[in-house]
Amino acid sequence: MGSLRRVAIIGSSLAGIHAAEALRKAGYDSTITMVGEEQHLPYDRPPLSKQLLSGSWDTPRIQLRPHDVIEGLSLDWRRGQPAIALDPDAREVELQDASIVEYDALLVTTGTKPRSLPVPLGLTGVHTLRTLDDALAIRAALDAMPRVVVVGGGFIGAEVGAEARRRGLGVTMVEALPRPLSRGLGDHMGEICGELHVAHGVDLRCGVTVRGFAGEGRLERVALDDGTVVEADLAVVGVGSEPATKWLETSGLEIDNGVVCDAFCRASAPGVYAAGDVARWHHPMTDELGRVEHWTNAREQAVAAVATLLADHDHPGARMLTAYAPVPYVWSDQYGSRIQVAGWTGGSDEVSVHRDAELGTTVALYRFGDRLGGVAGINATRRLLPLRRMVADRAGWDEALAAAAV
Ligand SMILES: Cc1cc2nc3c(=O)[nH]c(=O)nc-3n(C[C@H](O)[C@H](O)[C@H](O)COP(=O)(O)OP(=O)(O)OC[C@H]3O[C@@H](n4cnc5c(N)ncnc54)[C@H](O)[C@@H]3O)c2cc1C
């Protein structure tokens, strides 16, 4: 491939900033254009539903890097400027202000957007949570002591519900599946997490969906499809997210629930790479395309994509390439409990749950065939560490059961 003088990174958040740092660390000293639709400097998202929402941290604490470190990266910043189109043949990205960014290599790190409900969300008091501005708005709304409905019992909904209960607010959680968190943890662990919410006073409604939000100008009621109506002043909708690829629709790039990439984070057009929540890449461990919406992955995949980008352009800072094959990892904090998941859980053949009432820990093992495919834990950080390694090593099921029993 040709020379490397202009790298463009679209999406100036976690994966974006890690990619820029990886480029500079490898000795790449030419142009990095960093395009971000948000006005804010890069900030961290996990605290948005935890410390920032509770008010124990404020905005400066969640900045990913101090100003001087960002300045040291010598970026050509385009802040508050969404990319609106890509022409991979001309190697050009068009921004909303009609300016054009030319590149030799392009890294797409545009993350995800909250998924919508099939009902209008337009009323004041109905929120989604993805950005700092979303979190500040929800925090301000919580300060007014509202009656809260959380729509969706995934990680974000569960964390918002837990924070609202910590404030002593009435919380109804509406989950379409029979149990909260079961998409990420499976039914058995989802049941245990549901019990945690109920024990903390959440009115948990499972197997129902929202028919509509109603009120005079602002939210007053949430109608559910079982015919019940919940009085509410604040609704937070956390029903999953979708890859932010709308701007790539006319590019000809292969898009299928994310930017489709090979095992080295290369997208379908020469010189284009993707990393983080938006990337759906060929994972060598599963031999399938997969997308991971976790913090650890965004950091690690950005570095992996930069390694490929440098190698493809024969850059002197390039290193030997290996396929990107991480064991996915995510954590969530609810009511002072830490939930952690490593590896794969969905579609497992068996789940084995080990609860230690004395220590207050729970560990779940997920079997795929005769191997350990994933692990999850509640307040079990230390017990999980060796089990995470066993997932990476594709340990046998019996060996994993023996390790979990220790
Ligand atoms: C509230 C919340 C809590 C979370 N908690 C946890 C947790 O506890 N543990 C965990 O592992 N993960 C957690 N996550 C997930 C984690 O934050 C993400 O996996 C991570 O932020 C992904 O990084 P990214 O850089 O790929 O994408 P993002 O952080 O989404 O960044 C993408 C950036 O691209 C920008 N962008 C989008 N479209 C365009 C465009 N067309 N042009 C220019 N810029 C664009 C966006 O505005 C955004 O700034 C949480 C996420 C949220 C929202």
What confidence score (pLDDT) does residue 120 get?
Answer: 80
Regarding whether 251 and 228 lie in a shared domain, the answer is no
pTM of the model: 0.97
Regarding whether 340 and 286 lie in a shared domain, the answer is no
Tell me, yes or no, whether 323 lies in a domain.
no
Quick: pLDDT tens for 329-338.
999 999 999 9
Residue 184 CA to ligand 1 centre (angstroms): 18
CATH number of the domain where residue 109 is located:
3.50.50.60
> Which residue's entry shows tokens 């995800």?
112
Residue 111, ligand 1, Cβ within 6 A: yes
218 or 120, higher pLDDT: 218
Regarding whether 29 and 92 lie in a shared domain, the answer is yes
Quick: pLDDT tens for 69-96.
999 999 999 999 999 999 999 999 999 9
Regarding whether 350 and 255 lie in a shared domain, the answer is no
Residue pair 243/210 in contact by the 8 Å Cβ criterion: no
Residue pair 303/107 in contact by the 8 Å Cβ criterion: no
Which of 195, 212, 237 is the last residue before a domain boundary?
A: 237
Residue 13, ligand 1, Cβ within 6 A: yes
Residue 14 CA to ligand 1 centre (angstroms): 7
Regarding whether 126 and 58 lie in a shared domain, the answer is no
Residue 293, ligand 1, Cβ within 6 A: yes
Regarding whether 212 and 355 lie in a shared domain, the answer is no
Looking at this protein, which amino acid is placed at residue 223?
A: A
Q: Is 188 left (phi over 0), alpha (psi -120 to 50) or beta?
A: alpha
Residue 198 CA to ligand 1 centre (angstroms): 29
Residue nearest to atom 7 of ligand 1 (CA): 46
Tell me, yes or no, whether 33 lies in a domain.
yes
Residue 15, ligand 1, Cβ within 6 A: yes
pLDDT surpassing 90 at residue 101: yes
Regarding whether 137 and 76 lie in a shared domain, the answer is no
Region 382-396 average pLDDT: 95
Quick: pLDDT tens for 177-205.
999 999 889 899 999 999 999 999 999 99
pLDDT surpassing 80 at residue 121: no
Number of domain units in the chain: 3
Regarding whether 128 and 233 lie in a shared domain, the answer is yes
Atom of ligand 1 nearest to the CA of 130: 53
Which among 9, 10, 12, 13 is the best mutation to test ligand 1's pocket, defined by most ligand atoms within 8 Å of the CB? 13
Tell me, yes or no, whether 20 lies in a domain.
yes
Region 129-152 average pLDDT: 97
Average pLDDT, the chain: 96
Residue 277 CA to ligand 1 centre (angstroms): 7
Regarding whether 245 and 109 lie in a shared domain, the answer is yes
Quick: pLDDT tens for 266-325.
999 999 999 999 999 999 999 999 999 999 999 999 999 999 999 999 999 998 899 999
Residue nearest to atom 15 of ligand 1 (CA): 294
Give 118's pLDDT tier (boundaries 50, 70, 90).
Answer: confident
Which of 237, 271, 296 is the last residue before a domain boundary?
A: 237
Regarding whether 146 and 39 lie in a shared domain, the answer is no
Per-position DSSP letters for 238-291, written without gaps between them = ---EEES-GGGTTS---BSSSEEE-TTSB-SSTTEEE-GGGEEEEETTTTEEEE
Region 247-263 average pLDDT: 98
What confidence score (pLDDT) does residue 357 get?
Answer: 87
Residue pair 279/265 in contact by the 8 Å Cβ criterion: yes
Cβ neighbours of residue 115 under 8 Å, at least 6 residues apart? 239, 240, 241, 242
What confidence score (pLDDT) does residue 1 get?
Answer: 65
Give 358's pLDDT tier (boundaries 50, 70, 90).
Answer: confident
Looking at the chain, the whole-number percentage of residues with pLDDT higher than 90 is 94
What confidence score (pLDDT) does residue 20 get?
Answer: 98
Atom of ligand 1 nearest to the CA of 129: 1
Residue 111 CA to ligand 1 centre (angstroms): 5
Domain that holds residue 123: 116-237
Residue nearest to atom 28 of ligand 1 (CA): 111
Residue 83, ligand 1, Cβ within 6 A: yes
Q: How many whole angstroms separate alpha carbon 9 and alpha carbon 20?
A: 8
pLDDT surpassing 80 at residue 2: no
Tell me, yes or no, whether 328 lies in a domain.
no
Regarding whether 197 and 61 lie in a shared domain, the answer is no
CATH number of the domain where residue 343 is located:
3.30.390.30
Regarding whether 231 and 127 lie in a shared domain, the answer is yes
